[in-house]
Amino acid sequence: MADVPSPLADFIVSEIRRARGASGMTQEAFGRAAGFSASHVSAVESGNRALTIDFIRGADRAFSNDGLFGRLVAKLGAPSWFLPWLDAERGARQLRLFEPLLIPGLLQTENYARVVMRLNDLMSATEVDQQVSARMSRHKILTGDSPPQVVAVLDESALRRSGDEYAGIIAEQVAHLITVAELPHVHVHVIPAGAGLHIGLSGPFALARAGDGSWVGHLENQLGGIVVDTEDELHTLQTRWENVRNEALPRRQSNELMKEVHSDHGPH
C-alpha cells in the first residue's frame, strides 16, 4: 500500500507510539492486534521502515479508535481516493500522464501547485500548505536511483493559460517543464492549439506500469478520482492514450514550442 508522505508520517508515527505507550501495549502485543510483527512495528517507530496505510489501519484496529488515524491521514495528507494511485505511481516503471487543461501534478512547480490548490476555496491555508507539500514530495521519483520512464502529454492551452497576476508563475512553470524534459527518462509532448477537437478533451487520465508488467489507470474528476484496473477499462485508456499521443508534437518540436511559449511570456 501507499507510503504516507513526510512530515505527516512522522506525526502519525509519534501519535501511534504515544497511544501504544498510554495503553500499556508492548510492540509485540500491538503488532499482534494490528497484524504486524514486533520487528515491523519497531522498524516503523524508529523510522527505518515507511509508514503505510495498511499499518495505519492496523493501528486503528489495535486501538479500537473508530479509524482515528485513518481520518487524520485523509484530512491532513493525500485524500483517501488518491492513495491507491500514489502506491501505483511510486512503484511504476513507466508512467503515462495526460492533462488537457493543467500541468500534470508530477511536473508542477511549488508556486504553480499552490495557485491550483487555492482555486478550491473550501480548502484552508493550512490544508493548501499540506497538499502542496505532499505534491512536491511526489517529485522524488523523478530523480531517484531508478526513476520510471515518464511520458506526459499536455495541451498548449495549459502552457498559455495565464493573466497578469500569474504571468510570472506560468513562466516559471514552463521553464521548469523545459528543464525536466531534458532528463533522459522524461518526455513531454505538447498538443498544439491548431490540433482542434480531440478525444482527450473529455478529461485527464494517467497510466502506470508496474515492474511485473501490469497496468493501473487513474481518472480524476471534480469530486475525487478512481483507480482503474479491469482489462476493458485499461484497454479503453490505452487506446485513448494512443489517440492523444498521436495528436501531440514529437519530443524535439514540443521542447521548441515550450521555449517559444516561455519567450512569449517575457522576462520575469
Pair 94, 71 in one domain: no
Pair 35, 159 in one domain: no
- Domains in the chain, number: 2
Whether 1 maps to a domain, the answer reads no
Pair 206, 144 in one domain: yes
Pair 195, 123 in one domain: yes
Between CA 50 and CA 58 the distance in angstroms is 14
Q: Determine if the peptide bond prior to 100 is cis (ω within 30°).
A: no
- Can you give the CATH number for the domain in which 198 is found? 3.30.870
Q: Which of 49-58, 172-181, 188-197 is predicted least confidently? A: 49-58
Between CA 97 and CA 49 the distance in angstroms is 29
Residue ending a domain, choose from 19, 50, 76: 76
Pair 140, 179 in one domain: yes
Residue ending a domain, choose from 24, 56, 76: 76
Please tell me the predicted confidence (pLDDT) of residue 1. Answer: 44
Please tell me the predicted confidence (pLDDT) of residue 112. Answer: 94
Burial of 6 (0-12, 13-18, 19+ CB in 10 A): middle
Pair 72, 143 in one domain: no
> Which one-letter DSSP state was computed for residue 216?
E
Give residue-wise pLDDT tens across range 230-262.
999 999 999 999 999 999 999 999 999 999 998
Helices (H) and strands (E) in the chain, counts: 12, 6
Residue ending a domain, choose from 76, 102, 119: 76
Please tell me the number of Cα atoms within 13 Å of 209 on its side-chain side.
12
State the Cα torsion 110-187-81-119 to the nearest 10°: 40
Pair 42, 15 in one domain: yes
Whether 162 maps to a domain, the answer reads yes
Give residue-wise pLDDT tens across range 52-100.
878 988 999 999 988 888 777 766 555 555 667 777 888 899 999 999 9
Residue 174: pLDDT band (50, 70, 90) is very high
Whether 257 maps to a domain, the answer reads yes
What range defines the domain where residue 200 resides?
80-265
Residue 268: pLDDT band (50, 70, 90) is very low
Which residue is listed with cell 501504544? 20
Between CA 131 and CA 122 the distance in angstroms is 13
pTM of full prediction above 0.75:
no
